[in-house]
Structure 1
Amino acid sequence: MNPVVVFTLGGTISARGGDASRMTGAEVLAAAGIPVTAAVELRDFRRLPSSSLSFDDIAALAGEIDKVTAAGSGAAVVQGTDTLEETAFLLDLLCTTTARPVVVTGAMRRPDLPGADGPANLAGAIAVAADPGCRGLGVLVVCADEIHSARHVRKTHTTSVATFASPGAGRLGTLVEGSPRILLRPAHPLVADAPLSLRRQVRVCLLTLALGDGGELLDNVDERFDGLVVAAFGAGHVPAWLVEPLGRLAARIPVVLASRTGAGALLSRTYTGPGSESDVLARGLLSAGHLDAPKARLLLHALLADGADRERVSGAFARIAGGAAAPV
């Protein structure tokens, strides 16, 4: 089994109550009954609610994870669940090695509440990170005895301890009596030739459409933004009156079309009328494929921050929409 380095970032699993105070990483492990030993090392990396984590935080974390995995350890990241799926996905894009498993986990119930799930989730994450059979799967999320791929997992409920699911794909495996059981393996990495590097400061906007949307927010997607992701209706539909403004934006910056539904692939040719996926994609927008809108935003941000030009961005999303790994 691999030794494991546990990186604690804060979140509900470390809450001392309902206020902003947080336990140290050592206290989090102690509360879960997990001793710091030669097999389990602790890095008290941050002490923040996950809603306050930044791209810089995750880039720094990816660098530290690369060091420990290159040295032969698995990595378990413990953070709040609000942005857990985004941290896991971004780490999947940034980490340079798959030699050892990298796992992200958290908790839905504070340690002082009945049925606190943090200890079991942390123990499960460490078990997966320690298991050599779990490498090569990309970054994983472990919660409620389930193992999920970072590319598919989503937080689906505000309070349920079983909140994490992978709509349209399913879990990769489970924990049985504390041991990982891998049931499925991804056919290919999300992005070939990863990792990406956040070497440039960029800004990517995420716009979610709603009934009767007049497009006023599009007016604010000006020179301050380097890219845009549109969370459209259904399988990729927008109001007919937004087609022209979106086309003009797509001529200036990369604009990615995603679905606000959270599951299922974007269509490309089923509907052909005004505002349909065919109409919008013909105006130069890029399909997010099976990626949900927040993850499409992270991929676009990472590509642009890595210095990708329009052709490279377009190629990466085209391959994802087609179901293959995307050389970048």
Structure 2
Amino acid sequence: VQQLALLASFALIGGLLDLPFTLWQTFRLEERFGFNKLTWRLWLVDAAKGLLLGALIGLPILALILWLMGAAGSFWWLWAWGAWMGFNLLLMLVYPTFIAPLFNKFQPLDDPTVKARVTALMKRCGFAAKGLFVMDGSKRSAHANAYFTGFGASKRVVFYDTLLRQLNAGEVEAVLAHELGHFKHRHIVKRMVTLFALSLAGFALLGWVSDRSWFYTGLGVQPNMGAANDALVLLLFMLAVPVFGFFVTPLSARLSRQHEFEADAYAVAQTSGADLSAALLKLYNDNASTLTPDPVFVQFYYSHPPASERLARMAAA
């Protein structure tokens, strides 16, 4: 219980330290450019739900990992990785039907023109979904988006209501074709496999450093190597990992940008390049996204290519 309390306290303190920046971003920066639609009441309700959900989901998996560290022998990290992956797959399965509705309302898509076009597109692309839904994204933000979520029988396509207001039927179809491009190129599966591999390497590394005193002393902590340091090594590992993650960031961003180009090409082949270009320009404009980002920053942090590069490739297709 004490070890679990240590990790929970760390998460709570981290959340409190991030709070001023979160509030400034939402109620000052987003407000300044007309994107924020959150009221203080809704923000507090969301925060309370998020805290409760985080405790209900996070504490049991942490408790399980701590138990495995003490009871599963020298290969505890392999069992912990299996538990972590199973937990993530379960979350993906239940998120669309149980978690997302806690924060937003989802109504069936009722625009006959849009529905007919996207249904035909999905049939043409061989994509089956549980349904087409409109999410009340405008309750919190003016930003627009579309996505599909879940897997297997729980897959569903979701449009923000803001997207349907900003784009015409052809442009909505083109945006969805882009998302289906990720599906057809198996980008989601590839990302999951990458996540599985990286998390396995992470848990293996955690298992290796957990009984080495230099790991603790190097981070300014003097451990009692004869006692249980399970929560301590988890805490120190979580603090150290972002340093190494910095070097992985540009590789991950580059792969993501390549996936976006592939999804764009698929959308152009399935629908209209002109509609996709028009939709992207509207979305970049409505989201106040810069059209001339710093190229070094792009290489490190941009998960999507700059608009100029995407439009140039579509024009050349």
TM-score grouping bracket, smaller chain normalisation: under 0.3
Q: Greater strand share, 1 or 2?
A: 1
Q: Greater helix share, 1 or 2?
A: 2
Larger Rg: 2
TM-score normalised by length of structure 1: 0.26
TM-score normalised by length of structure 2: 0.27
The structure with higher relative contact order (CA 8 Å, sep 6+) is 2
